[in-house]
Structure 1
Amino acid sequence: MSEEVDVLVCGAGVGGLATAAAIGALGATVLLVDKLTRRPPIAKGELLQPGALSSLREWGAEEILLRQGACALDRLSIRAPDGESLLALDYAAVLGPKERLLAADHQTILDALEATLPGNVTIRRGVRVDRLIRDSAGRVAGAHIQQPGGETAVRARLVVAADGIGSKLRAEAEMGGKRAEYAHRLLSFEVAGEYAGELSAYVTERGLRLVYPLPGGTTRVYTQVGPDELRGIGHVGLVGWTHRMVDGVPALDPMRDGLVAALAGRQLLPVPRFLAPSLAKPGLALVGESAHAVHPMAAQGMNTAITDAAALADRLRAVGGFAAADVDEALRSYQRERMPMLEHIATVSHNAARMITDVSPLGRLLGRTLMRNTARNPRLLAATCHNMAGVDVRPLRLTDRFYQLGLLRDANAQVIAR
């Protein structure tokens, strides 16, 4: 069996659905396939930043999320265990009165993206991508897929790999990249009750405690743990561990009983970081986690997948067609223009994660120094807000690092540029 489409998107997570929505809006025939028949429930991808929300707004997904009760958050705050603010990013004040984060369940975000897909996009689930198809010049020209009716050769002018950090397509195309793991994991709780009105990151002697609201009167809590910290301790041990964790963060005391009650539904998650050295080859593009992964503390992973999709669609719109030569021109532009942004996001996310998750005495002292001096400097605070929100690129200079460390005085500290 064989068929032909303009674009074959492999993977129906956020990156794949966003790509199908963005490219489908250009009028292309799109086939979106995923190996799973049902989405597994997982604590990930629940915070949407302003940079990604602008694309969701254009596609109509933001309106759906708001109707579904998504929580609007104005601030991202880094706090001491007792709740003292160390560094606060006020999105409305810095970026504009309408800018904010949205918090929504991951499944709801996927459903909202799927609801925006135009009629020229077809989704097939329970379909495994077997191997790429190449033309006589070696250009990717589609893929063989395994579906209930047997194997099908799908010819496409563009194949999009949105199949996750362990991307089979990226490996087959020999596009490289090595996954690294942070020296900790995150234990996720979904706590019944409303305990937060913002995205709060608590910096403790034992690492990060991340808290934010979800729709339906629940609260998400991520707790940093060592790789083997919880190994083999059983339920009674977990209850004791949870009480000790809360004892170390007095600001979390109101949710103590809720955290214990949520232990049955906990998830222990690895924390990888990854950036592919290349985003495209002739006929093939990487989006989302097939191209990059960052620490969840920075709330950039899902958002970057969405903006990947928007950037790829913009390049395809610019060339004005889906002939192979046009697609490859768009892919070269995507690689050239998108890679610096991804490198910037990877650096910002890694630096933010290290500042908050380092549990060594020196690391904690350094992190607090950086946060407090950034908070006292409106110019650096504005740059940090823009970087975290994903609205533009404002890399910090070497002299800015000296300002953050308190080694130099910033004569332009009061200069704030929106």
Structure 2
Amino acid sequence: MTTEQHVDVVITGAGMVGLALALALAPSGRRICLLEQRPGDVGDWLDALAALPVEQYDSRVSALNPASVQLLQQLGAWATVQADYRACGYRDMRVWDGEAQGRIHFSADALHLDSLGHIVENRIIQAALLHQLAGHDNLQLLTGVSLQTLSAPAADGRRQLTLSDGRCLSADLVVGADGALSRTRQLSGLAATEWDYGHHALVTTIVTEQAHADTCWQRFTEDGPLALLPLAGDGHHSSIVWSTSPAHARELMALNDDDFCRALALASEHCLGQVVATAERQLIPLRQRHAHQYVEAGLALVGDAAHTIHPLAGQGVNLGFMDAAALADVIESAWARGEAIADVRVLRRYQRQRRGANLCMSAAMEGFRRLFAPRPAPIRLLRSCGMNLMDRLEPVKQHLVLQALGLSGERPERLRQPS
């Protein structure tokens, strides 16, 4: 007979957002269990990362805004990123219309900030969060397991889970943090709207002739946006995210390295000179998803399990971290008041905070994507004039960038106080 283990919260997925949520809840002393499909041991994962050559970068990176960095500081992970790993703070962002003359320059100096954000490899963010787990006896990480079944809520909202290794768990709250194809969302029956963006994202690491100058460069091409994101190190390594049509993406993947470097330099209008080297390329189909509801009794969705957006502004992980911070606030407040965290009325406080904000960001990204789609010459001229006008309207430009940096608008309670 299989024994059922009860915990307060089960988080499916020990990626960046799931780990952040677990660590945010750790000081409560409650029993938190994380489920991770990746097999192995945390110590082995961290040792393998430490053994990688310094010039070997992860092709998947995140542009962390100041609000996300503040959360990582509170969780103790940011100090680990800086001391043991690497991050590249960027002070400028230069965006231009590749089909016209429109340009916008965002500067940290104009906002009196040290940086606009940091480009950090995803595996480094995850490793820094994993380092913090050892300091919390109430956090349990189960690796090499996946969610097989999820019960409907009991009368008190509790859920039962069956894992791929046969183990059974019960929890007051199950949080789906298991990515865009969330098994938790599927098993719960929570519906989501999704559509294909008609873009694939080609990602890789490159070496350029000129130094990146701690600047993010983004050109809107006829096929889609191309971003060059600065990486820590010698100043000549950058991560690229080239969103383009599936047919063009396949053509780029078929090129040899030399031809690809030439094509990339041309597409970026040689903003960093010649592209002298490239790492292995990866292709990621892009789809938009948004759950109709983030919560029901005994269940909540965070991060990509609840929403995915186009990567053109690099906001995906930042939205996920804000989800984690907001849900942690709601859970801790409920515990302090003696409320049941499985109660859907409690969980809707989280949904009210985050769903509208995430929908607004999703709509903004969709608007940008459509704005820079192929247009007749008169529309391109108006678009270009609009970009140049916005570049001169500092108050408007600063308002927009402060929202993207997570420094304006409604913020989770824990991020309203200095770290």
TM range (shorter): 0.7 to 0.9
**1:61 and 2:77 correspond:** yes
Find the counterpart in structure 2 of residue 13 from structure 1.
15
Change (3 A) 1:158 1:54: same
Find the counterpart in structure 2 of residue 305 from structure 1.
320
Name whichever of 278-287 and 59-68 sits farther off.
59-68
**How high is the TM-score relative to the length of structure 1?**
0.83
Q: In the aligned structure 1, how far is the partner of 2:96 from the partner of 2:239?
A: 17
**1:34 and 2:36 correspond:** yes
2:226 is aligned, of 178, 188, 209, to: 209
| Deviation, structure 1 residue 55 | 1.0
**CA RMSD, Structure 1 to Structure 2 (Å):** 2.9
Name whichever of 19-28 and 289-298 sits farther off.
19-28
**1:132 and 2:111 correspond:** no
Alignment gaps of 5+ in structure 2? 50-56, 411-419
Change (3 A) 1:248 1:145: closer
The DSSP-based 3-state class of the residue aligned with 1:271 is strand
The DSSP-based 3-state class of the residue aligned with 2:226 is strand
Determine what percentage of the aligned residue pairs are the same residue.
Answer: 24
Change (3 A) 1:249 1:83: farther
**1:114 and 2:122 correspond:** no
Q: In the aligned structure 2, how far is the partner of 1:46 from the partner of 1:163?
A: 17
Name whichever of 307-316 and 129-138 sits farther off.
129-138
Name whichever of 197-206 and 281-290 sits farther off.
197-206
Taking the TM superposition and a 5 Å limit, the aligned residue runs for 1:8-407 are 8-37=10-39, 43-67=59-83, 68-79=85-96, 86-94=103-111, 96-98=112-114, 100-117=116-133, 118-137=136-155, 139-147=157-165, 151-192=166-207, 195-196=211-212, 197-217=214-234, 218-231=237-250, 235=254, 239-240=258-259, 242-252=261-271, 254-258=273-277, 261-262=278-279, 265-321=280-336, 325-328=340-343, 329-356=345-372, 358-361=373-376, 364-393=380-409
Q: In the aligned structure 2, how far is the partner of 1:269 from the partner of 1:195?
A: 27
Code of the residue aligned with 1:142 in structure 2: it is Q
| Deviation, structure 1 residue 74 | 1.8
Query: Residues 299 and 342 of structure 2 are in contact (CA less than 8 Å); yes or no, is this contact kept in structure 1?
Result: no
Name whichever of 291-300 and 238-247 sits farther off.
238-247
Name whichever of 82-91 and 276-285 sits farther off.
82-91
| Deviation, structure 1 residue 230 | 4.5
Alignment gaps of 5+ in structure 1? 395-418
Change (3 A) 1:317 1:250: same
Query: Residues 288 and 308 of structure 2 are in contact (CA less than 8 Å); yes or no, is this contact kept in structure 1?
Result: yes
Query: Residues 316 and 327 of structure 1 are in contact (CA less than 8 Å); yes or no, is this contact kept in structure 2?
Result: no
The DSSP-based 3-state class of the residue aligned with 2:110 is helix
Change (3 A) 1:281 1:77: same
Q: Kindly provide the CA deviation profile for residues 107-155 of structure 1, in whole angstroms up to 9, marking residues without a partner as x.
A: 00101112223331111111011111335438352311122xxx11111
Q: In the aligned structure 2, how far is the partner of 1:114 from the partner of 1:24?
A: 13
| Deviation, structure 1 residue 241 | 5.3
Provide the aligned length of Structure 1 versus Structure 2.
385
Query: Residues 223 and 245 of structure 2 are in contact (CA less than 8 Å); yes or no, is this contact kept in structure 1?
Result: no
Q: In the aligned structure 1, how far is the partner of 2:320 from the partner of 2:251?
A: 36
Q: In the aligned structure 1, how far is the partner of 2:323 from the partner of 2:268?
A: 37
Name whichever of 228-237 and 196-205 sits farther off.
228-237
Code of the residue aligned with 2:238 in structure 1: it is T
Change (3 A) 1:114 1:307: same
Q: In the aligned structure 2, how far is the partner of 1:101 from the partner of 1:141?
A: 39
Q: In the aligned structure 2, how far is the partner of 1:322 from the partner of 1:286?
A: 23
| Deviation, structure 1 residue 92 | 4.6
Code of the residue aligned with 1:207 in structure 2: it is G
| Deviation, structure 1 residue 160 | 0.4
Q: Kindly provide the CA deviation profile for residues 366-393 of structure 1, in whole angstroms up to 9, marking residues without a partner as x.
A: 5433322221212210221122112233
The DSSP-based 3-state class of the residue aligned with 2:151 is strand
**How high is the TM-score relative to the length of structure 2?**
0.83
| Deviation, structure 1 residue 37 | 1.6
